[in-house]
């Protein structure tokens, strides 16, 4: 593993919290993700099912967790199934987890080979009444038409045990994963720390005439050097007018003298993520207009992050953030107060320049699971990312930090990442 060993106590506690929310006499089954094919005999990099990782710490394909808290035999209350290795697998792919290693990672004493799963389940299934099965329930999921390991497990259980009750494991993990433990916060802080170093490296490297992907390469180098697993998402390195496309990530344009770069990027460390955005001038010096727009967005970030508190409903927060941005748009001369006063409330004028939400949960997923009807609570980690995009001027600016919600407000996990104009220009001059 690229990351330091995570205490198995984290996963033991997560499983206890999950089991406490299960109905009596029920079995939960969580599966790993598939290794996805690319072309010919190539495959994409493996990414673990985050619910399985949350409950076990196992970061390997072909793994299954079975929980049966009411099982008569104590050893059957938690069973982990992992891939059995062989000399051939070891030669071609390297080491896989032994049963002993799987126990050390997860804290699960009863570890079996995955080929024993079906028979093991059959011995217990008819004593249980209900199955909790995993599925990707994120509202923006892109996997609805893909036959995943989770889909195959659902089909298998419903075909073999059609008279059982079936419930959603994701409904439980969705509630639990929103509140981060101390161990999880430490991992997210490490992801953020790597992001900070990556940004500073870019500031010291950029020169007019460089391609956007050269800056992406600097991010990649630094996160890899510091033990990051991968980019948290495809980084956005958008210079000039490219920054007005919210999810631009082709990163193939030339960074021109006089333009500003918007860089939205994150680091995945131990499967936990950071998500930050910064803007900076290609030539090291903000123009007058760039400063005006940048300071307007920075004001919204500073004031908007103060609105994130325990008990606040996300929708109410977003309305207040929109008001902050609207006020800055008037100061920038982009909107007029009289027009806003007479605007269609269902189609507010600010959306021409500011068209996205600013707070999302972050954790094992960059856009982490959870309901936005749930008020903010202590232990949640959310982003704050206001932006202003002026297509006609070729200026797009977004600034984003990651905030841990605490009793009296927030703690900025990315506070060490340079954000003041004076800081950025000083680093670029050095």
3-class DSSP assignment, residue 241 = helix
Q: 319 Cβ partners below 8 Å, 6+ apart?
A: none
Reported residue count of the chain is 430
What 8-state DSSP symbol labels residue 242? G
For every one of its 430 residues, what pLDDT tens digit does the chain have, with 9 covering 90 and above? Answer: 789 899 999 999 999 999 999 999 999 999 999 888 888 778 888 899 999 999 999 999 999 999 999 999 999 999 999 999 888 888 888 889 999 999 999 999 999 999 999 999 999 999 999 999 998 887 776 655 668 899 999 999 999 999 999 999 999 999 999 999 999 999 999 999 999 999 999 999 999 999 999 999 999 999 999 999 999 999 999 999 999 999 999 999 999 999 999 999 999 999 999 999 999 999 999 999 999 999 999 999 999 999 999 999 999 999 999 999 999 999 999 999 999 999 998 999 999 999 999 999 999 999 999 999 999 999 999 999 999 999 999 999 999 999 999 999 999 999 999 999 999 999 999 8
Distance CA 334, CA 357 (A): 20
State the pairing for strand pair 78-82/110-113.
parallel
> What is the set of domains in the chain, with CATH numbers?
8-177 (3.40.350.10), 182-429 (3.90.230.10)
Q: What is the DSSP string of 106-175?
A: H--SEEEEGGGHHHHHHHHHTT-SEEEE-----TT-S-TTS--HHHHHHHHHHHHSTTSEEEEHHHHHHH
Cα distance from N-terminal residue to C-terminal residue, the chain: 36
State the pairing for strand pair 64-67/26-31.
antiparallel
What 8-state DSSP symbol labels residue 37? B
Residue (of 69, 172, 71, 65) closest to 108 by Cα position: 65
Distance CA 219, CA 115 (A): 41
């Amino acid at each position: 593993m690229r990351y330091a060993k995570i205490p198995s106590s984290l996963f033991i506690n997560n499983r206890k919290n999950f089991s406490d929310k299960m109905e009596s006499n029920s079995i939960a089954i969580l599966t790993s993700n598939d290794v996805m094919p690319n072309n010919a005999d190539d495959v994409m990099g493996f990414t673990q099912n985050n619910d399985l990782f949350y409950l076990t710490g196992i970061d390997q394909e072909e793994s299954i967790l079975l929980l049966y808290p009411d099982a008569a035999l104590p050893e059957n209350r938690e069973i982990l199934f992992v891939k059995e290795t062989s000399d051939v697998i070891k030669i071609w792919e390297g080491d896989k987890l032994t049963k002993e290693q799987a126990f050390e990672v997860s804290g699960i004493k009863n570890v079996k080979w995955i080929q024993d799963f079906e028979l093991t389940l059959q011995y217990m299934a008819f004593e249980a009444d209900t199955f909790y099965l995993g599925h990707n329930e994120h509202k923006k999921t892109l996997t609805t038409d893909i036959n995943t390991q989770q889909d195959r497990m659902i089909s298998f259980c419903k075909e073999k045990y059609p008279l059982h009750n079936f419930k959603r494991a994701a409904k439980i993990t969705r509630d639990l994963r929103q509140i981060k433990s101390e161990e999880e916060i430490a991992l997210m802080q490490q992801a953020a720390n790597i992001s900070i170093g990556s940004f500073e490296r870019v500031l010291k490297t950029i020169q007019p005439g460089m391609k956007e992907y050269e800056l992406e390469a600097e991010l990649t180098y630094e996160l890899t050097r510091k033990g990051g697993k991968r980019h948290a998402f495809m980084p956005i390195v958008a210079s000039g007018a490219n920054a007005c496309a919210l999810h631009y990530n082709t990163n193939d344009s030339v960074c021109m003298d006089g333009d500003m770069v918007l860089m939205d990027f994150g680091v995945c460390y131990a499967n936990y993520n950071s998500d930050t955005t910064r803007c900076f001038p290609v030539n090291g010096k903000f123009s007058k207009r760039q400063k005006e727009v940048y300071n307007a967005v920075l004001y919204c970030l500073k004031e908007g992050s103060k609105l994130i508190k325990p008990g606040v409903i996300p929708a109410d927060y977003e309305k207040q953030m929109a008001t902050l941005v609207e006020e800055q748009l008037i100061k920038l001369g982009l909107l007029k107060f009289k027009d806003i006063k007479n605007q269609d409330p269902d189609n507010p004028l600010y959306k021409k320049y500011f068209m996205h939400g600013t707070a999302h949960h972050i954790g094992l997923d960059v856009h982490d699971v959870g309901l936005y009807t749930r008020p903010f609570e202590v232990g949640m980690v959310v982003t704050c990312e206001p932006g202003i995009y002026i297509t006609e001027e070729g200026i797009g600016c977004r600034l984003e930090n990651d905030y841990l919600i605490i009793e009296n407000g927030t703690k900025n996990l990315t506070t060490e990442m340079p954000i003041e104009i004076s800081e950025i220009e000083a680093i670029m001059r050095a």
